[in-house]
Structure formats: C-alpha cells, structure tokens
Amino acid sequence: MTIKVKLGIYNLKVITKEFIAILQLNKMTKIGFCIFTFILLLAVLADYIAPYNPYERVGPPLSPPSMKYMLGTNDIGQDILSELIYGARTSLLIGFTAAIVGTIIGVLIGLASGYFGGIVDEVLMRLTDAWLSIPTLLFTIFLVALTSRITLFPTIYSIILAISLTSWPGTARLVRSRVLSIKESPYIESALAIGASSTRIMFKHILPNVTPIIVVTIIMTTARAILVEASLGFLGLGDPTVKSWGMMIHYAMKRNAIILGMWWWFIPPGILISLLVLSAYLIGIGLEEYYNPRLRRI
C-alpha cells in the first residue's frame, strides 16, 4: 500500500513537472491555458456565479443590458448572462466526451491496422479512407437527425455519438503510422521472441509510446467537436432542453436579434466559442512542440 502511494505521488510530480515545462516552452500556450481555465471555472462554478436560473423567466422579454440583467433577457425573459455561463458546461461536456470516444475508436483501429498489417491493414485503411471522403458536417447532421429519431436517449447524446463517429479517421491514420515505426523496434522483437501475446504487445509496449499523439489529438479534436456542436446548435439541431452557446445564437437569429440591434444576445456566445476553440488549439500546439522536439522554436 505504501509503495502504491509513493508511486502515485511520484507520477503526480512527473506530470506536474511536464505540465510546467509545456507552459514555459510556449507563451501562447500559457494564454490558451488561462483562457481555458477561465471557461472551465465558468462551467464548474455555474451554480454559484450565475445570477439567475437560466431556465426560468426572471424579467420582461427582450430587456436591454442593465444593472439587474447585465446582458439583458431573451425573448421569453430568461437572463442571457446565466444562459451564457451554463452554456460553457454543454460545450465542454460535448467537446471532451466526443473527443475521447472518437479518439478511442481511432486508436483501436490504428493499433490493429499498424500492428497486424496485411489484409487487416488493407480493410481498415480502406474503411478509414472512405470515412474521410464523407463531408463531416453533413454526415454529422444526418447522424444527429437519424439517432435523435430512432433512439430514446436525449439529443445531447445523439450529438456526442455523431461527432465521435466522424472524428476517428484522422486519429486512426496518425496512430497507424506511429505503430508501423514502433513495431520494428528491438524491444518489440524481443517481446515477440519470448512469446508475448499480440494484445500485450499492443497495449503494454506500443500504446504507451503513442500516448503523446493521443493527448494532442484529444485536445485538437475537442476544439473541432466544440465548433461542430455550435454549428449544430446554430442550425437548430441542438438539444432544446439544454443551454448551449450554439442554441443561444440560433434563437437570437430566429428572433431577429440582428435587426433589433440586440448584439448582447448573439455576440457574447460567439466570442466564447471562438475563445474556447482558440485556447484548445494553443494548448495543442504547446503539447505538440513539447513531445516533438523538432517543432520547438530556437
């Protein structure tokens, strides 16, 4: 028990040192991390910092910004600032969940394709190529419309599933190319010589060496997933029972907010979407530079 605790503390120290090194490597990554932390705190502390319940009518419809309603109210009298704060939860939940699920699918396919080669590689890569040829947003819209009709779970899960199923091909190709180079290493040949199973070699010896690619991919895929979710919400395909930035912009456009000059309804969610995606990309760039020394600036 003591050994496990010590090992856990040691791993935590290593992770902390690596994290600090990544932040020191790239100034833009620091900015991205600060932006991301701010939005994450909005999501986590939404119950405490939102001035009102975003699902309740708290004032007259279409009220302009004031001391009582800092970003005014929407067409049914809900506080827009509270909607904005709670919308951070939806964007982060969908972004991270879809990115993780899509990355897991891509990693498994990439591992199997790169390690086994031959007919397995041919079939999986042709499937990946076919998937890559499909327009991502259109296919996501189709999947959301389809799954929301034939399933009983909430629309938000349909969105996560649809984004996950359209985000794995790039990961599969990246992992496959890395596996092809790793499996020729002497230690892999040694593992084969002593009779290690394919499963053990893939998940015990190869997968840990692919981890940097996986981490960077999750961050980058999160950014894309957030954009896709916002696009679906803007098109009216989001979950109407959940507050999200995309749905806020959708309802603002539907209620002629631009014509009415109600910039406080649609500009703030647009800015936060842009900042969240930007922060994810900046963090991803920092991670990529850290794990790939050839990309580091002199």
> Residue 142: what pLDDT?
84
For residue 17, CA distances in Å to 22, 40, 161, 260, 288 come to 9, 22, 35, 52, 16
> Residue 275: what pLDDT?
93
Give 182-227 as a DSSP string. HTTSHHHHHHHHTT--HHHIIIIIIHHHHHHHHHHHHHHHHHHHHH
C-alpha span between 242 and 92 (Å, rounded): 13
Residues comprising the chain, all counted: 298
| Coil/strand/helix, residue 79 | strand
> Residue 150: what pLDDT?
67
Q: Which residues contact 38 (CB under 8 A, 6 or more apart)?
A: none
> Residue 292: what pLDDT?
64
> Residue 285: what pLDDT?
81
Entry pTM: 0.84
> Residue 258: what pLDDT?
84
Domain ranges of the chain: 51-282
| Coil/strand/helix, residue 12 | helix
C-alpha 127, offset from chain centre: 23
Q: What are the per-10-residue average pLDDT scores of the chain (298 residues)?
A: 40 60 74 90 91 90 89 90 92 90 92 88 90 83 76 76 88 89 81 80 85 84 88 84 89 88 90 91 80 56
> Residue 282: what pLDDT?
87
| Coil/strand/helix, residue 73 | strand
Q: Give domain 51-282's CATH superfamily.
A: MetI-like (1.10.3720.10)
> Residue 10: what pLDDT?
38
